[in-house]
């Protein structure tokens, strides 16, 4: 088996499996993506979601607003919450400055919250209950599973504690019986901790922050970072210099990124199945 965890290849396989499943359905699952403003990265991510939905056969509706008040956006979401033809709703983040992201995201019905970001779904994850889990962490778990990486009993270190990535992946690893350490910007002696990791997850948002001296020989390194510098994408891990030291590693691009979109589609299908029970 290759040392490089090929997220692109794995995601394509899952995408084809989802497509085959959706082809058999009489009524198609439906995803609504809501975006506000003109964030260039968001435009790229929304485009990727549309492409994946179209490929799989998921009905896709993109509602875009140049600007909208919090109250009106809440009303729009409530409309989709009530619409029985809609299985999944996501609000593309970040919202423009000044909007109340927490209020808006938590307006989404938890059974349609395919990004897994509502308080309820996050709480279910902590309690190790079935839920629509946040897509990037779910994608990381799929990659580890695909590569047959043993999780139980290992030391897993997560660098980053965001609601989107760090906290949910720490909980998923804990649910899978790893011993998890979560690090952040106030952590002292970070390298001392990361060097003990059997599984190291880097979700920081700083180009090549994890250097060769910070990783353990034979560890599995998952690089979540997407850092755009001069039009090029870089991970949080100094891939070239870390590569020969580790057992497995995800590249950037082509590692975690492609899994995130496919896990969103998997969540839409999951929500659909729950709605059609
Ligand atoms: P975020 O909300 O900015 O969180 C970054 C985390 O890194 C914070 O917890 C922060 O600590 C920690 N951190 C910052 N500087 C640090 C330092 N010097 N030492 C240790 N920890 C440090 O970012 P995010 O949303 O989690 O995203 C992280 C990266 O993943 C970004 O590059 C993002 O673009 C990428 N991402 C990729 C995908 C994908 O699909 N591949 C999905 C989501 C995000 P504090 O909490 O103390 O500030």
Cα 99 from Cα 73, distance rounded (Å): 10
Residues of the chain with CATH 3.40.50.720: 135-257
* CA of residue 162 to ligand 1 center, whole Å: 6
Give residue 78 CA to ligand 1 midpoint distance, Å: 31
The residue whose C-alpha atom lies closest to atom 5 belonging to ligand 1 is 204
Burial of 6 (0-12, 13-18, 19+ CB in 10 A): middle
pTM over 0.95: yes
- Contacts of 93-101 with CB under 8 Å at 24 or more apart are 93/42, 93/164, 94/39, 94/42, 95/36, 95/37, 96/36, 96/37, 96/39, 96/67, 99/36, 99/70, 99/73, 100/70
- Residue limits of CATH 3.40.50.10860 in the chain: 25-109
Residue range 25-109 forms a domain whose CATH class is alpha beta
Instruction: Check: CB of residue 136 under 8 Å from CB of residue 164.
Output: yes
Give the residues across from 61 on adjacent strands: 32
Mutate to test the pocket of ligand 1, among 7, 194, 204 (most ligand atoms within 8 A of CB): 204
pLDDT of residue 10: 98
The pLDDT of residue 14 is 98
Catalytic site residue 92? yes
**pLDDT at position 90:** 98
Q: Give the chain's length.
A: 277
Ligand 1 touching residue 265 (CB < 6 A):
no
The stretches in the chain having pLDDT less than 50 are none
At 277 the pLDDT is: 87
* 52/59 Cα distance (integer angstroms): 11
Nearest-atom index, ligand 1, CA of 203:
28
List the one residue out of 38, 143, 51 whose CA is nearest residue 95. Answer: 38
Nearest atom within ligand 1 for CA of residue 187: 20
Assign residue 8 a region (left: φ > 0; alpha: ψ between -120 and 50; beta: otherwise).
Answer: alpha
What does the block give as tokens for 187? 């952590």
User: Best substitution site from 44, 138, 184 to test ligand 1's pocket, by max atoms within 8 Å of Cβ?
Assistant: 184
Architecture in CATH of 135-257: 3-Layer(aba) Sandwich (3.40)
48 annotated active-site: no
């Amino acid at each position: 088996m290759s040392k490089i965890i090929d997220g692109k290849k794995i995601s394509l396989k899952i995408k084809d499996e989802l497509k085959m499943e959706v082809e058999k359905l009489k009524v198609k699952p439906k995803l609504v993506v809501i975006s506000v403003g003109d964030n260039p990265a968001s435009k790229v991510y929304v485009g990727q979601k549309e492409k994946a939905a179209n490929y799989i056969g998921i009905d896709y509706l993109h509602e875009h607003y140049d600007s909208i008040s919090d109250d009106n956006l809440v009303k729009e979401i409530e409309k989709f919450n009530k619409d029985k033809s809609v299985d999944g709703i996501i609000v593309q983040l970040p919202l423009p400055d000044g909007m109340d992201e927490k209020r808006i995201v938590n307006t989404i019905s938890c059974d349609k919250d395919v990004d897994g970001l509502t308080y309820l779904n996050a709480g279910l994850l902590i309690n190790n209950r079935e839920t629509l889990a946040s897509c990037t962490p779910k994608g990381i778990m799929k990659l580890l599973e695909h590569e047959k990486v043993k999780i139980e009993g290992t030391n897993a270190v997560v660098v980053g504690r965001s609601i989107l990535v760090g906290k949910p992946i720490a909980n998923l690893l804990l649910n899978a019986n790893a011993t998890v350490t979560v690090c952040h910007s106030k952590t002292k002696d970070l390298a001392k901790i990361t060097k003990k990791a059997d599984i190291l997850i880097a979700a920081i948002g700083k180009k090549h922050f994890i250097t060769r001296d910070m990783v353990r020989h034979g560890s599995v390194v998952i690089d979540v970072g997407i850092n755009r510098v001069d039009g090029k994408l870089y991970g949080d891990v100094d891939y070239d210099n870390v590569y020969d030291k580790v057992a497995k590693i995800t590249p950037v691009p082509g590692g975690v990124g492609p899994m995130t979109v496919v896990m969103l589609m998997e969540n839409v299908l999951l929500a659909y199945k729950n709605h059609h029970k």
